[in-house]
Structures are given as C-alpha cells and as structure tokens.
Amino acid sequence: MALIRLEHVSKRYGDRIALTDVSLSLDAGEWVFLVGPSGAGKTTLLRLVAFAERPTSGRVEAEPGLRRTIGSLGQEFRLLSDRSVYDNIALACQIAGIWGRDQIGDRVRPLLDEMGLRALEGLFPGDLSAGEKQRVALARALVRHPRILIADEPTGNLDPAAAAQIFSMMRQFRDRDTLVITATHVEEWTQRHPGRVIRLEQGYVRSDAPAPRVETGSLAQAREAGGA
C-alpha cells in the first residue's frame, strides 16, 4: 500500500479553484518534485498531503499513524530567536512528547554531527547565515524520524551553494526510505537530483514522470571505466 493516496481530489477557496481532480499514489523512498508556475497548486497539494487542509471533494488516504510522522521545511526558517540551535531542534522532540533529556539528546546530537551543526549548537539564529539557518530548520524537521518530508520552496532564500547543500542532505534521507516531496520553481534541481516530476498547471496534473533509472554499484562503475 502507498504511504499516501489522493483519489479525485479537488480543492476550492471560495470561488477560486486551486486543484481539480488530482489522483496520485506516493510511496516510501520516492523523491517527488512538484513543478509549475506560481498559482499552479503546488502549495495546496503539499498542504493536503500534510493534512493541513481537507479536500473540497475526493479523498486523501494514508497509512495509520502517518500524520504524526510528517516533517516540513519551508522557505522561511521559522526558528525561535531566543533559543539556541540545539534547543530549536530539541523543541520538536518536546512537542512530539519525547520529554526525557537523555532521549532527546540521543536524537539531536547525532543529527547535529551528520549535518555539520555540532560546532553551532550553542549559537542563536541571529548568529547564523541563511544556509546555516535552513540546515537547522531541516534538522528540526528530521529529528522525529519522519516517514515523509514535505519541502515547499526550501531553497528560495538561499544562494546556489547553500541550496545545493540542502538538496544533497534531503537526498540522503530519501535514500533511507523517507518519502520526500519538494515544491520548486527551479527545475534545474530535478536534473541534479533525479526523481519523479509532477507538473501542475492551473490546478491540474499535466504530467507525472517517473524517476529515471539510476545505475549504482559495480555496473555504473564498469560503464564509467569503459567510457560507455
């Protein structure tokens, strides 16, 4: 069974139609890119997948308990200015009901190491660059070990180098069987990080292209060595 399935979903806001008759099946380990112009329905679709909105018609179905295992990352960092890097990340554990200090530390500190944030854990958001803030925001989204990571224009406020770093980190977690859904207007990222590309226009799914086959391991190495 897919992690999330949308069946003939439409969404209206008053007289404005945001999505029309969308049917999709999304599963673990996929990297799904939502692309399209502003107003195409990308953010609305993300909000439906995150259960932050209900469809006007149609159904959004998910595996039991999945709603509690969704992490989100946006264009705005939304860090608490009066809390350190460590405390901003640890707060996500507290909100989830993980109260033990040792238990929280066991989740936060390995993530700080993995994302290159350990040297920054005592600093406050005002001391960080935009790229560092977004890495903290990503760590906060991932600290609860989500099965789905929803990213809405996550690199909109970043320079190209910082944006590339964020996408590379998201890819690592996709490779661990997390479903990553990313809305972006920069289609270059879909070429650098091959994934399933869903193109939206005026609330309709115009195309849904599966991820290209990527060769790994000995076969890919053999092709490179042979110049094929």
Nearest to 166 by CA among 152, 155, 177: 155
The DSSP string of the chain is --SEEEEEEEEEETTEEEEEEEEEEE-TT-EEEEE-STTSSHHHHHHHHTTSS--SEEEEEE-TTGGGGEEEE-SS----TTS-HHHHHHHHHHHTT---HHHHHHHHHHHHHHTT-GGGTTS-GGGS-HHHHHHHHHHHHHTT--SEEEEESTTTTS-HHHHHHHHHHHHHHHTTT-EEEEE-S-THHHHHS--EEEEEETTEEEEEEPPPP---HHHHHHHHHHT-
pLDDT above 70: residue 182? yes
The superfamily (CATH) of domain 4-226 is P-loop containing nucleotide triphosphate hydrolases (3.40.50.300)
Residues 6+ apart with CB under 8 A from 39: 202
Query: How confident is the model over 156-172, as pLDDT tens digits?
Result: 888 889 888 898 888 88
Query: How confident is the model over 184-198, as pLDDT tens digits?
Result: 887 888 888 889 999
Residue extents of the structural domains in the chain: 4-226
For the chain, the average pLDDT equals 87
Cβ neighbourhood burial of 28 (10 Å; 0-12, 13-18, 19+): middle
How confident is residue 68, by pLDDT bands cut at 50, 70 and 90? confident
How confident is residue 222, by pLDDT bands cut at 50, 70 and 90? very low
Within a 13 Å sphere around the CA of 32, how many CA atoms are in the beta-carbon half?
Answer: 28
What's the rounded mean pLDDT across residues 194-211? 93
Whole-prediction pTM value?
0.84
What's the rounded mean pLDDT across residues 2-27? 95
